[in-house]
Amino acid sequence: MLRITKKMLFAIEAVLDIAYHAGSEPVQSREITRRQGIPQRYLEQALQHLVRDDILVGVRGPRGGYRLARERRRITVGDIVRSVKKMETAEDPLQTEDGSDLGQKVVRPLWTLIQEDVMTRLDSTTIDDLCNSAIDAGIESEGRKNLDFII
């Protein structure tokens, strides 16, 4: 069952933060924590899963951090949600055999359709879309203000 969790929200916010605030250097987790208020323990765990699922790339070293693994227009919110769902261990009530006929044959199929609709929407929403929403909302990008295009 798709349910929004703190880990899911934190992961989406972290990927968006990296996409929106990245300059020429990788984004360090402490910067994400500072900007988004995401607890470090949740953040590091989520970032590692996102690296394993090829959404992010970890860069080692003193100036290391995280970058997007591919263009932000090629990463969807659905990709991030699926990555986080793999981390979560709670049993999906839609997959159990118990329940009444009404629950099994009417309510669960409805809930499955709703989830499919939500995932379709999340799969059609890219990180680039969210970055454009942040620009429209007037949120300043720390990475962009640090870029200097003077030749």
The pLDDT tens digits of the residues spanning 30-71 come to 999 999 999 998 899 899 999 999 999 999 988 899 999 999
CATH number of the domain bearing residue 72: 1.10.10.10
Helix-helix angle 29-36:6-21, to 10 degrees = 110
Report how many domains make up the chain. 1
Report yes or no on 1 lying in a domain: no
pLDDT number for residue 52: 96
Report yes or no on 13 lying in a domain: yes
Q: What share of the chain is helix, strand, coil (3-state, %, to 5)?
A: 60, 5, 30
Report yes or no on 54 lying in a domain: yes
pLDDT number for residue 63: 85
User: Structure pTM?
Assistant: 0.85
Report yes or no on 151 lying in a domain: no
pLDDT number for residue 89: 66
Report yes or no on 100 lying in a domain: yes
Q: Determine the structural domain holding residue 74 and report its residue range.
A: 6-146
Report yes or no on 122 lying in a domain: yes
Select the more confidently predicted residue: 22 or 18.
Answer: 18
pLDDT number for residue 147: 46
Is residue 106 within 8 A of residue 95, CB to CB? The reply is no
- Condensed to tens digits (0 to 9), the pLDDT of residues 101-151 reads 898 889 889 988 999 999 999 999 999 999 999 999 999 998 765 544 445
Q: Which residues contact 112 (CB under 8 A, 6 or more apart)?
A: 94
pLDDT number for residue 142: 84
